[in-house]
C-alpha cells in the first residue's frame, strides 16, 4: 500500500510579504485560484492505484490550518503528525514511517513537500509508477527534474548507470554558480533535485539505522510516547527536541548504496522565490513578458511580476522587477535579487517587527480576526467566525469588550462559573463584556459571522486570556497569540 507523506513544515520566507511564518506559502493559492499549494499536493495523487489517505506532518502552529484545508477538499488524513519543534526531513520521515507501519505491515511512502507545483499530474503519476518498480527492489528513489535552463537556485543530482526506467546516483550537488549550472545543463548528466521521494518504510528505517542511528533512536522514543489529541498525533518536545536536525539528503541519500533517481518533466517548480513564480506565470510572447495578479495597471513595463493583494498597484517604465503588495507591506526587488528576500525577513526578526510573523489577518481554528485600529488604551478588531464554530469560554483580567454584529447571527454566552445566560444577536445589535466576565462567542448560522470588537483597557495583548473550555483542545497554556 502507498502512503503519501506530505511535509508541511516550511516557512516560505523568500515569498514574503505574502508568505508569513504563521501563514506560509503552502497555505496560499499561488498556482490556482481555487486551491492552495497544500491542497494541490494532496489532490495530486488522484489516479494513483493502491494509494491510501495521506499522512501529513506539520508544526503545531499550523495544525488547524492543515486540518481545515484538508476538510475543504474532502480529504481526511490517515494521520496528522505535529512536530513540537522543527528538525528537518530525516526525523520527520522517520515519524511518518513509524506511523505508516502502525497501519500496514509493509507500506511504501511517497514523500512530497506541500509547497511545490506540478502542472502535469499524469506525467508525475507515470514517473511514480516507474519508481515503484525500483522501490520494490529496496531502492530509495528520488525524482529528478530534467533541467530547462541553468538554474542556480536548485540542487542537482548527477546520474550514473541506467537502472530500470531510472538511474543509479553518482552524487548530489549543492546549488551551483551560473557557470557550473550551465556546465551541468550542457552535459545532459544532471537533474534538478525535486525533494520528492519514494521508498518502503522499512527500507528507509534500515538505512537510517546504518547512517544516522542517533536520529532513529530518538524518533522511536518520541513515537512510543505519542499522544492522540482530537485528530492530531502529538509528540513530547522534551524528547523530540534532543533529536539532531538533518535532511534526508544528508542523513541517508548521500550515503546509501541503494539510491536511485527517476527523471521527469511534469512542469515542476518549488516556487522557492518570487522569480520562480514569475517563471511559472509569465508569457514571454505576450504582455511584454509581464505577469500580474490582482488589481494591477502597467504601462511600458517589461519582464516584471507585479502582485496586488489589497489595492491598486500601478507601475510605469520598469523592467525586470518584482513588486508585491499586501495590506501592511510592499516588496520591490530586481528579479535577479529575489532570492535575497529572506534577508529582509531576517532583518524584520532582528528588529522584532511582527510583519515577518503574521498578516493583519490572524487565522484561528474558528475563523480569523484583523486589527483595524490600535492605540493607547483601546483596540478595534474585525472578527469573522465560520459557520458552526465558536471561540473558547474565556475571560480577561485587563480589558473589556464591546461587540457589534455587522453580518450573520451571534450566540453569546455570559456569566460566572456554573451560572450563564445565552442569547442571540443579529445584525446591528451589540453587547458589552465587562472586565472579568466569563464569555463565549459562537456562530450558530450558515453564513460567516462578522462583527466589530472594541477593546478598552490597560493591557490589550492576546495572552490576556484565561480559558475554561475549548472545543479545539487548546489548554490555558496555549492561549498566547490564540484568541
| Residue 57, beta-bridge partner list | 7, 81
Q: What is the pLDDT of residues 203-251, one digit of tens each?
A: 999 999 999 999 999 999 999 999 998 889 999 999 999 999 999 999 9
Mode of pairing for the β-strands spanning 291-293 and 438-442: unpaired
pLDDT at 255: 96
Which of 121, 143, 104 lies closest to 42 in space, CA to CA? Answer: 121
pLDDT at 482: 53
Which residues fall within 8 angstroms of residue 126, CB to CB, at 6 or more apart? 264
CB of 313 closer than 8 Å to CB of 295: yes
CB of 347 closer than 8 Å to CB of 334: no
Looking at the structure, give the CATH architecture of the domain made up of residues 2-269. Alpha-Beta Complex (3.90)
Which residues fall within 8 angstroms of residue 419, CB to CB, at 6 or more apart? none
> Rounded CA gap, 271 and 278, in Å?
9
Residue 283: Cβ within 10 Å count: 10
- Tallying the residues shown for the chain, one arrives at 483
pLDDT at 480: 46
pLDDT at 483: 63
Q: Kindly state the greatest CA–CA separation across the chain.
A: 77
Would you list the domain boundaries of the chain?
2-269, 274-345, 361-478
The DSSP string of 187-240 is HT-EEEEEEEEEEEHHHHHHHHHHH-HHHHHHHHHHHHT-EEETTEEE--HHHH
- What CATH fold (topology level) applies to the domain 361-478? Jelly Rolls (2.60.120)
Answer whether 2-269 and 361-478 agree in fold.
no
Stated pTM of the model: 0.89
CB of 65 closer than 8 Å to CB of 190: no
pLDDT at 47: 86
Copy the grid coordinates of residue 416: 460566572
CB of 341 closer than 8 Å to CB of 326: no
Q: What is the pLDDT of residues 27-73, one digit of tens each?
A: 999 999 999 999 999 999 998 999 999 999 999 889 999 999 999 99
Task: Provide the 3-class DSSP secondary structure of residue 50.
Answer: coil
CB of 44 closer than 8 Å to CB of 380: no
Along the chain (483 residues), what's the average pLDDT of each consecutive run of 10 residues?
Answer: 95 94 94 95 93 95 92 95 96 98 96 96 96 95 95 93 95 94 96 97 97 98 93 95 96 96 96 93 79 95 96 97 96 95 96 92 91 92 96 94 97 88 96 95 97 95 90 64 54
The DSSP string of 289-302 is G-EEESSEEEES-B
Which residues fall within 8 angstroms of residue 32, CB to CB, at 6 or more apart? 40
Task: Provide the 3-class DSSP secondary structure of residue 346.
Answer: helix
Task: Provide the H-helix boundaries in 325-398.
Answer: 341-350
Amino acid at each position: 500500500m502507498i502512503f503519501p507523506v506530505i511535509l508541511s513544515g516550511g516557512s516560505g520566507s523568500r515569498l514574503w510579504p505574502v508568505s508569513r511564518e504563521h501563514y506560509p506559502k503552502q497555505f496560499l493559492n499561488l498556482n490556482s485560484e481555487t486551491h492552495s499549494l497544500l491542497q494541490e499536493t494532496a489532490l495530486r495523487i488522484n489516479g494513483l492505484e493502491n494509494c491510501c489517505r495521506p499522512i501529513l506532518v506539520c508544526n503545531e502552529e499550523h495544525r488547524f490550518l492543515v486540518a481545515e484545508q484538508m476538510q475543504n477538499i474532502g480529504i481526511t488524513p490517515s494521520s496528522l503528525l505535529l512536530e513540537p519543534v522543527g528538525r528537518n526531513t530525516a526525523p520527520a520521515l522517520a515519524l511518518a514511517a513509524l506511523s505508516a507501519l502502525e497501519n500496514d505491515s509493509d507500506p511504501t511512502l511517497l514523500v512530497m513537500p506541500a509547497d511545490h507545483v506540478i502542472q502535469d499530474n499524469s506525467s508525475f503519476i507515470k514517473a511514480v509508477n516507474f519508481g515503484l518498480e525500483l522501490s520494490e527492489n529496496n531502492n530509495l528513489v528520488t525524482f529528478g527534474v530534467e533541467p530547462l535552463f541553468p538554474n542556480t537556485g536548485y540542487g542537482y543530482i548527477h546520474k550514473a548507470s541506467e537502472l530500470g526506467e531510472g538511474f543509479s546516483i553518482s552524487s548530489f550537488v549543492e546549488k551551483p554558480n551560473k557557470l557550473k549550472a550551465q556546465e551541468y545543463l550542457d552535459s545532459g548528466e544532471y537533474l534538478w533535485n525535486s525533494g520528492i521521494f519514494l521508498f518502503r518504510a522499512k527500507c528507509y528505517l534500515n538505512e537510517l539505522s546504518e547512517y544516522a542511528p542517533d536520529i532513529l533512536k530518538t524518533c522511536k522514543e518520541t513515537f512510543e510516547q505519542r499522544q492522540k489529541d482530537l485528530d492530531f498525533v502529538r509528540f513530547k518536545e522534551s524528547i523530540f527536541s534532543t533529536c539532531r536536525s538533518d535532511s534526508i539528503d544528508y542523513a541517508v541519500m548521500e550515503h546509501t548504496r541503494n539510491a536511485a533517481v527517476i527523471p521527469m518533466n511534469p512542469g515542476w517548480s518549488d516556487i522557492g522565490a518570487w522569480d520562480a513564480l514569475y517563471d511559472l506565470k509569465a508569457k514571454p510572447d505576450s504582455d511584454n513578458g509581464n505577469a500580474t495578479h490582482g488589481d494591477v495597471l502597467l504601462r511600458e513595463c517589461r519582464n516584471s511580476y507585479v502582485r496586488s493583494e489589497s489595492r491598486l498597484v500601478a507601475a510605469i517604465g520598469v523592467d525586470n522587477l518584482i513588486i508585491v503588495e499586501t495590506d501592511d507591506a510592499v516588496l520591490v526587488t530586481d528579479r535577479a535579487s529575489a532570492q535575497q528576500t529572506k534577508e529582509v525577513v531576517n532583518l524584520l526578526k532582528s528588529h522584532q517587527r511582527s510583519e515577518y510573523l503574521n498578516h493583519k489577518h490572524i487565522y484561528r481554528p474558528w475563523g480569523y480576526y484583523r486589527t483595524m485600529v490600535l492605540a493607547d488604551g483601546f483596540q478595534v478588531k474585525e472578527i469573522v467566525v465560520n459557520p458552526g464554530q465558536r471561540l473558547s469560554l474565556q475571560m480577561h483580567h485587563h480589558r473589556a469588550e464591546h461587540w457589534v454584529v455587522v453580518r450573520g447571527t451571534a450566540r453569546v454566552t455570559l456569566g460566572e462559573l456554573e451560572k450563564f445566560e445565552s442569547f442571540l444577536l443579529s445584525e446591528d445589535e451589540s453587547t458589552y463584556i465587562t472586565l472579568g466576565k466569563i464569555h463565549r462567542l459562537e456562530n450558530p448560522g450558515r453564513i460567516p459571522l462578522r462583527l466589530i470588537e472594541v477593546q478598552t483597557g490597560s493591557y490589550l495583548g492576546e495572552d490576556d486570556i484565561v480559558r475554561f473550555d475549548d472545543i479545539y483542545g487548546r489548554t490555558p497554556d496555549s492561549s498566547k497569540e490564540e484568541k
